[in-house]
Structure 1
Amino acid sequence: MFPSIMIIDDEPSIRQSLSGILSDEGFDVITASNGYEALKIIDSESPDLVLLDIWMPGIDGIETLKEIKKNNAFIQVVIITGHGTIETAVKATKLGAFDLIEKPLSIDKVIVTINNALNFRRLEEENKYLRKKTIEKNAINGNSPLIAELKKQVAIAAPTDSWILITGENGTGKELVARTIHQLSTRSDQPLIDVNCAAIPDEQIEIELFGQEKGFSSEMSARKRGKFEMANSGTLFLDEIGDMSLRNQAKILRVLQEQKFQRTGGDRMISVDVRVIAASNKDLENEIKKGNFREELYYRLNVVPIEVPPLRNRLEDIPILVETFLTECADHHHTPKKRLTEKALKTLCNYSWPGNVRELKNFIGRLAIMVEKQLIDDYDISVPCNPGSEGNTTSAEAKLFSIARLEEAKKIFEKEFIQRKLVENQNDIDKTAQIIGTERSYLEKKLGIKN
C-alpha cells in the first residue's frame, strides 16, 4: 500500500500539478479546494500526510491545521504558503505542523519534505510500539487483591512526578515496579538511570553520582558524567538505599534537596531536574532507630510509599507468573513453549518461595531447560512439600534414597546437582560449567542441548 497524500489548496493549477507529480512518485493523491471539504474527506480517507495552503477562503490553513490535529494527531501536515513569515511558521509548528514550504514550490524540496515527514511518522509509530513492548515487559503480573492494590498505587503515583520509596523483600520485583512507574510517567521519553547503592564503595560515591572533571586524577584523563547528570530530565533509581553508608547518605542528601552539585575536581555548579525513586529491602524506620539511616533522608524520599508484597502472600498469582516465565523462556531460547499440569501448578502453589518472584522465575527457567517433555508434571518438580518445617526433604531427595542401585542414584544426583547449580547461576551455562569444573559441551549434552 502506497502512502496517501492530501493536497489542500484553493488554486486548481497547484492541485493539478502537485497531484500529477506526486502520483508519478508513487503516492496515492487526494485533493480538496478548501478546509471544510478537506476535513470531511479526512474523516473518511485518513491520509498519511497533508500539504496545506495557509491562505484559503472560509477557514484558513491555521484553523484547518488545528482541526486536523485535534482529531488526527498522527497525520503529518506540511504547510505551503506564498506569504510565509517567521510568525506564521512558529505558530504552525506549535500547532503540530511538520514543516513549512514557501511558494513558488520547488518540486525537489516538496518530495524531500514529504519523505522526511513520512519517515518521522514511521519512527513515531516504532517508538510507540517499542514503548508498548517495554511496558508489557515491565508489567506487574498477577490478579490477587494485593497486586491489584499495587497496580492502583502505581497508576496513581506514576504521572504525578512525586518521589517514591519502594519497600519489599529481596526478589519481590521492586526494580520492576520502579521501571513501570518510569514508563507510565511524563518522563518516559527520558532516561531511567539506576544506582546500586550497596555496590558503590565510599571513596567512589562522589565520582559515580556527580562525575569528575577532566584531569582531576591521573587515572582518568577525560571528563566523566555522573549518574545525576545522566538522569537529567528523567528518573534516578536509587536501589537498595538502605545499604548505603551514613557517610554516603550525607553526601547525597543536600544534592537530592537542591538538585545542584559540582563534579569532583570542578567549581561549576550544575543544576539538574530528576525524579527520584528509591528502593530498599530493609525496614528503614527501624534502621533509623538503630542509627543506620538518616531520618531527614528517609522523609525526603518517602513522599509516596509503595510496598511490594512477598510471593507467599499472593500464591494465587503463581499460575499467571508461571505462564509469563514459560513464554519468556520459549522466546529467549527460540523453542516451543512448555506447559505445566494442574498437579505441577498445585505443587508450586504449596511452596512459600522465600526468594519470591525471582526464585520462581529461576526455577521455571530451570524446568524449561532440564525437562525434555513439553508437558511438565508434578514428579518433574523438586520443591519442598512443607516449607519451613523441620526434617523437611525435597521430592528429589526422597526419590534419590528410594533407589536401590548406585549407578541409577548417581544419575539422579548428577541431574539434580546440575539443575540446582544452573538456578544459582541464573541459567548461565558457561558460568555453571566453570564453577562446577566441567566443560560447556558436557553440560549441553546432559541438558539435551543440540548445537
Structure 2
Amino acid sequence: MKTNILVVDDDKGHLSMLGTILGGWGYDTDSAMDGGEAVSAVKERPYDAVLMDVRMAKVSGIEALEEIKAYNPAIPVLIMTAYSSVDAAVEAMKLGAYDYLTKPLNFDELKLTLERALEHKRLSEENRHLKEAVSAGQSLAGIIGTSPAMRAVVEMVKVVAPTEATVLITGESGTGKELVARAIHANSVRKKQRLVTINCAALSETLLESELFGHEKGAFTGADKRRDGRFMQANKGTIFLDEIGEISMPMQAKLLRAVQEREIQRVGSDSVQSVDVRILAATNRDLKAEVEAGRFREDLYYRLHVMALKLPALREREDDVPLLANFFLKRFAEKNRKAVKGFTPLAMDMLIHHAWPGNVRELENTIERAIILSMGEYITEKELPPALVRHYEQDAPAETGNGHLGGQPLEDVQKLAILATLEQTGGNKSEAAKILDITRTTLNNKLKKYGM
C-alpha cells in the first residue's frame, strides 16, 4: 500500500510541482488550496503526513495545523514557509508541527525530512502497539509476546483459564511454563484463592510424598507434629505440579488417586481426605514418549492431559526477542539504577539471531548481565556474552541480506549502520551520532557523501 501525502498550498504551480515530485518518489498525493480544505480532507481520509504552506489567503496553515492536530495528534505535519516567516514556523512547531522547511525548497532536504517524519510516525505506532501488547500480556500475569506462536498461547490461556480443566503445560526449559500456570490461575474463578507450586524434581520420593499429601506426627524420623501437604494448602485454589515427568512410578500411582478422585492420604494415616483443587502440571519431557517407554503411567498421563498447552521455544518466535529484551532492559535498568535507554543495532541483531538454547530465561539473564556491565546509555556487543558474539560472527559470513553485515563493502556496511541507527532514534541525528560514537558533523558529512 502506498503512502498518502496531503499537499496544501494556494499557489497552483507550486502545488502541481510538489505533486509531481512526490509522485516520482513513490507517494500518492492529494492536494488542497487552503487550510479549510486541508482540515476537511484529513477528516475524510487517513493521510500518513501533511505538507502545508503557512501563508494562505483563506485559512492559514497555522489555523489548519491547530485543527488537524486536535483531530489527529499522531499525523505529522510539515510546514513550508518563506525566510521572512520563520517566526510563523516557530509558532507552528510549538503547536505540534513535526518540522518546517523554508522556500524555495531544497528537495533533498524535503525528501529526507519527509522520510524521517513518516518513519517517526511508524515507530510511534509500533511503540504504541508494543505497549498495548505488554499491557495485554501483563493482564495475563506477565505473558509477553506478539508473535503468532505466543498469540496462540495467550488465546488458549483465555479459553482454559475460566474452566476447571486440568492443564498439562509442555515446553523446553526456560520457556515460561510456570508463568503460564500463574496466568491460568490469575484468570480463573479461583484467582482469589492460593496458587501452590511444587517442583517435583527437587525432592526425593519420600520427601515428595510428604510435601504433596502431608504427614502424621511420628510418621517418620523428624515428624514431630502433623503437617498439611501442598494439596491441602491449595484447597479451594490451584496446585501447580512442576516437572511432573521426573517422579518415580510408585509415586505416580499415589498421585493418580489425588488427580483422579481429588482424595489424599497423609503419610502415616489410615484416613482419606477430600480436597477441592484445580490441577496444573508442567514438564519439559515428551510424556507420550515416556508412556510408550514404560516410564510414565498411561492412566496418569491421560488424567493430566485433559487440556494440553505447548509453549514454543524462543528460537521459534524470534519476532518477540526485541519486545522481551526491552522489557528486561527496563526492569533491570531500574533495579540497578542504570540510565540505559536501549540497544545498538548490532547488539539487537545479535540477540535476534541467537539460538537461545536456554530460551527466555537465558535471554533474561543475558540482559541483566549486560545492564550490570554497561557504562553507557546503550547496550553494545561488548556487554553481551563472548560465546553469543562468537556464534554471531561465525554465522555472519554465510548470511547476506538477512540482517548480518558480513561479505559487504565497508561503505555499504556504514550506510546500513547509519540507516538502522537513524531508524532506531526516529531520525534524531544527535542521538544517532552518540550511538555510532561519532560527532554530529561527521554523521552529516557521511549522510551527504552517501546521498542519504
Quickly name the TM-score band, shorter chain normalised: 0.5 to 0.7
Find the counterpart in structure 1 of residue 303 from structure 2: 300
Aligned residue for 2:300, secondary structure, equals helix
Counterpart of 1:370, as a letter, is L
After TM superposition, the structure 1 stretch with the greater mean CA deviation from structure 2, 346-355 or 379-388, is 379-388
Change beyond 3 A, Cα 1:331–1:268: farther
Determine which of 159, 163, 166 is the counterpart of 2:166: 163
Find the counterpart in structure 1 of residue 262 from structure 2: 259
Find the counterpart in structure 2 of residue 232 from structure 1: 235
Query: Within the alignment, does 1:377 sit opposite 2:380 as a pair?
Result: yes
Deviations 1:117-155 (A, max 9, x none): xxxxxxxxxxxxxxx999559311110010111100011
Q: CA deviation at 1:386?
A: 8.8
Matches within 5 A, 1:23-102: none
Please give the TM-score of this superposition, normalised by the length of structure 1: 0.55
Contact 2:170 2:283 in 1 (8 A): yes
Find the counterpart in structure 2 of residue 214 from structure 1: 217
Contact 2:191 2:237 in 1 (8 A): yes
What percent of counterpart residues are identical? Answer: 44
Find the counterpart in structure 2 of residue 191 from structure 1: 194
Alignment coverage as a number of residue pairs: 262
Find the counterpart in structure 2 of residue 271 from structure 1: 274
Determine which of 222, 247, 250 is the counterpart of 1:244: 247
Aligned residue for 1:160, secondary structure, equals coil
Counterpart of 1:264, as a letter, is V
Q: CA deviation at 1:262?
A: 2.0
Aligned residue for 2:161, secondary structure, equals helix
Change beyond 3 A, Cα 1:377–1:251: same
Counterpart of 1:238, as a letter, is L
Query: Structure 2 CA distance, aligned partners of 1:133 and 1:314?
Result: 18
Q: CA deviation at 1:266?
A: 2.2
* Structure 1 segments (4+ residues) deviating >6 Å: 385-393
Change beyond 3 A, Cα 1:385–1:327: closer
Contact 1:261 1:270 in 2 (8 A): yes
Counterpart of 1:291, as a letter, is G
Query: Structure 1 CA distance, aligned partners of 2:362 and 2:385?
Result: 13
Please give the TM-score of this superposition, normalised by the length of structure 2: 0.54
Contact 2:198 2:242 in 1 (8 A): yes
Aligned residue for 2:280, secondary structure, equals strand
Query: Within the alignment, does 1:312 sit opposite 2:315 as a pair?
Result: yes
Change beyond 3 A, Cα 1:387–1:187: farther
Query: Structure 2 CA distance, aligned partners of 1:386 and 1:296?
Result: 47
Deviations 1:302-349 (A, max 9, x none): 111100000001001011101111122123234434421222111111
Query: Within the alignment, does 1:284 sit opposite 2:290 as a pair?
Result: no
Find the counterpart in structure 2 of residue 203 from structure 1: 206
Query: Structure 1 CA distance, aligned partners of 2:288 and 2:141?
Result: 29
Q: 5+ unaligned residues in a row in structure 2: which ranges?
A: 1-134, 397-452
Superposed CA RMSD in Å reads 2.6
Query: Within the alignment, does 1:342 sit opposite 2:345 as a pair?
Result: yes
Contact 1:351 1:384 in 2 (8 A): no
Aligned residue for 1:195, secondary structure, equals strand
Matches within 5 A, 1:414-429: none
Aligned residue for 1:194, secondary structure, equals strand
Counterpart of 2:307, as a letter, is V
Find the counterpart in structure 2 of residue 329 from structure 1: 332
Counterpart of 2:277, as a letter, is V
Contact 1:171 1:355 in 2 (8 A): yes
Change beyond 3 A, Cα 1:378–1:263: same
Contact 1:384 1:392 in 2 (8 A): no
Query: Structure 2 CA distance, aligned partners of 1:234 and 1:349?
Result: 39
Find the counterpart in structure 2 of residue 150 from structure 1: 153
Q: CA deviation at 1:245?
A: 1.1
Determine which of 152, 175, 178 is the counterpart of 2:178: 175
Change beyond 3 A, Cα 1:351–1:218: closer
Q: CA deviation at 1:218?
A: 4.6
Query: Structure 2 CA distance, aligned partners of 1:244 and 1:220?
Result: 23
Counterpart of 1:251, as a letter, is K
Q: CA deviation at 1:379?
A: 4.0
Query: Structure 2 CA distance, aligned partners of 1:382 and 1:204?
Result: 38
Deviations 1:34-69 (A, max 9, x none): xxxxxxxxxxxxxxxxxxxxxxxxxxxxxxxxxxxx
Query: Structure 2 CA distance, aligned partners of 1:221 and 1:385?
Result: 51
Aligned residue for 1:364, secondary structure, equals helix
Contact 1:175 1:239 in 2 (8 A): yes
Counterpart of 1:346, as a letter, is D
